[in-house]
Amino acid sequence: MDPVRRAALRQRFNNAIDVPMLILALAFVPLLIIPEVAEISPELQFELDVVDWIIWSAFAFELVVNIYLADARRSYVRQRWFDVAIVLLPFLQPLRITRSVRVLRLLRAIRVVSVAARIHHAIRDIFFVHGVQYVLAVAMLLLVIAAAAVTHFERSAGGSINSFGTGPWWALTTVTTVGYGDTYPVTPEGRGIAVFVMLLGIGLFGTLTASVAAYFATSSERPSETTLDDVLTEIRRLESRLDETLSERRST
């Protein structure tokens, strides 16, 4: 296939699926987190597995099409490692080496990280520039993941973060630097996540403050925009003057 046509097809394909794949990726995160933070029945687990494989099929289809249409396929696979991980990791679970609970949790954590990277990349492509919307969307995603992770580590340690409802409350009070002190992590893993959320809050509010300051700094310097009505009014005025000039010349 002609490289130009291949690139055009790939661009059209990605433009068509960007938003649907972002929605599927966002829906994929709870499917990976719920089994770790809540006790669910076998029936619900089966339904979650079915949805999991449906979303996995969409990711696999997207990956295969993009690899086929890519000019440098090896480079594409290296750049989109998270898509490859999302597609390949489920096949490692039936192996004997993954029968350990610790290894299974590690694989699930890697899948969560891969999906988070996929969402990060999708949001960046959709917003195209690193604007405030991009920062807020990524920050909210990371907060949800942090809340689920800290709940997973803390609920068995007898601490104050013992349910998924408490996890988001702790994450919000931490990222906003309020820190009421009613909930706090006690495990090393939970405290490590807390440090990450604190740094996330500093970066998030620093970005918001800079964006607001830049808006007010540029709004006063921004020239008034000419509207279409203004242009049409000016054209009519010039036409009127031209008609008057032609009429004067004809009369003379």
Number of helices (H) and strands (E) in the chain: give both, helices first: 9, 0
Q: What is the mean pLDDT of residues 177-190?
A: 84
pLDDT tops 60 at residue 191: yes
Query: Which CATH architecture best describes the domain 1-128?
Result: Up-down Bundle (1.20)
CATH 1.10.287.70 spans which residues of the chain? 129-223
**Top CATH class, 129-223:** mainly alpha
pLDDT tops 70 at residue 65: yes
Alpha-carbon distance of 74 to 42, in angstroms, equals: 40
* pLDDT of amino acid 98: 44
Q: Give Cβ neighbours of residue 161 (< 8 Å, ≥ 6 apart).
A: 150, 151, 154, 155, 167, 170, 183, 184, 185, 190
Q: What is the mean pLDDT of residues 222-232?
A: 60
pLDDT tops 50 at residue 97: no
Distance, first Cα to last Cα, the chain: 70
CATH 1.20.120 spans which residues of the chain? 1-128
Instruction: Name the pTM for this structure.
Output: 0.49
Is the CB of residue 183 less than 8 Å from the CB of residue 166?
Answer: yes
